[in-house]
Amino acid sequence: MMEVVRACLRAGEIAGVAEFFSFGTNDLTQATFSFSREDAENKFLPFYNSAKILKDNPFEALDTAGVGQLMQFAVENGRKTRGGLKVGICGEQGGHPASMRFCHYANLTYVSCSSPRVPIARLAAAHAKLLEGEFKPATSG
């Protein structure tokens, strides 16, 4: 499980002994933003969204500008060490359409999400494949 920033930064070394990476996106989001989900969602996150400080709730839609960049860094460095490294995510973001597009762009192997989100995730994955080459990851927000 890749759930902390340091694990992402040391991915090349970790891939030497791990056969796959699974990004725990809820924990990695908390570690990247340095706030707890409970505090953020119950206190200040709604203000951040309404004031456009953040476009989306990062616990619902993957923050591609921060968490996503860490994930891409880890995927690239992990696969330099282990070429066939399987990489995926587990967390609620896995069922969000924009997150699915990012996962396709980042060349992840699999996505895990809660069962009610599976139909949306499958549709989003197919849509991402159809739009291949048009997706541009967010760079701010």
User: For residue 15, what pLDDT is reported?
Assistant: 98
The CA distance from 131 to 84, in Å, is 25
User: For residue 140, what pLDDT is reported?
Assistant: 46
The CA distance from 42 to 86, in Å, is 35
CB atoms within 10 A of CB 130: 8
User: For residue 34, what pLDDT is reported?
Assistant: 95
| Residue 17, token pair as written in the block | 């002994």
User: For residue 137, what pLDDT is reported?
Assistant: 58
Q: Which pTM does this prediction carry?
A: 0.86
Q: What stretches in the chain show pLDDT beneath 70?
A: 133-141
Give the strand pairing for 20-24 and 86-90. parallel
User: For residue 133, what pLDDT is reported?
Assistant: 66
**DSSP states of 76-110:** HHHHHHSTT-EEEEESGGGGSHHHHHHHHHTT-SE
